Amino acid sequence: MARPLLPLNPTLRSRARRDHSAPVKATARQAAGNPRIGKKKAMKPETQNEMKAQANAAQEKPEYNDRDVRMKNNYATEEQIAAIIQANDDGAFLTGGAPIDEIVNEWDGEGLTVEEVEGYIAARVFQGEQAAQLKEAGITPEQAATRTGSDVGIGCYGDTLGYKVANGDLSVEEAKAWLEAGNE
């Protein structure tokens, strides 16, 4: 005859839960005896506003999104980017069928001048983030327009260096090394 299972001691049961990373909730009796359980400490409104402002600042685009900084550095505006995309979007290469506003937002705020936006788009770079990474690495739009062979990067096709980076078939570091090896 099998022995009946005895209930575990509640103290041992809660320790076992803690050991296995399972959340342990306070029982009604424990909560009644401790006024701190189940109550959240209210934050002062000033502290909440400061925390929200810090979170928003962390999500904002870098400083070149400021109008004065844009004007000083001649960075491309949304209207200029939209005009460039509309003029160069042959067969939905840049937009992929997405609304133009979404594509403009991807390019806007990357710290590129009108000439750089035109150059990287002409080099078949279809994402603003990759264009900014190429610029940061010192790869000019003219260098990004350099044709590669099918042996460069992932994928057995020849295209521009910029396209292969934007398509994810070549890293920016690999592109820079390829150019430094004299393949311009």
Give me the pLDDT at residue 17, please: 46
**Contacts of the segment 77-84: beta carbons below 8 A, 24+ positions apart:** 77/108, 78/104, 78/108, 80/114, 80/117, 81/107, 81/108, 81/117, 84/114, 84/117, 84/118, 84/121
101 alpha carbon, distance to own chain's centre? 18
Select from 100, 176, 92, 101 the least CA-distant residue to 133: 176
CB 36 within 8 A of CB 26: no
pLDDT tens string 27-42: 555 555 555 555 555 5
Cα Dmax for the chain: 89
Where does residue 105 rank: exposed (0-12), middle (13-18), buried (19+ CB within 10 A)?
middle
Cα separation, 78 vs 82, in Å, equals 6
Give me the pLDDT at residue 147, please: 93
Cα separation, 167 vs 176, in Å, equals 16
Residue 74 DSSP symbol: T
Where does residue 2 rank: exposed (0-12), middle (13-18), buried (19+ CB within 10 A)?
exposed
Residue 6 DSSP symbol: P
pLDDT over threshold 80, residue 7: no
pLDDT tens string 141-184: 999 999 998 888 888 888 999 999 998 999 999 999 999 988 76
Q: Is the pTM of this model over 0.75?
A: no
CB 169 within 8 A of CB 155: yes
Number of residues written out for the chain = 184
Give me the pLDDT at residue 143, please: 95
Max avg pLDDT among 16-25, 66-75, 146-155: 146-155
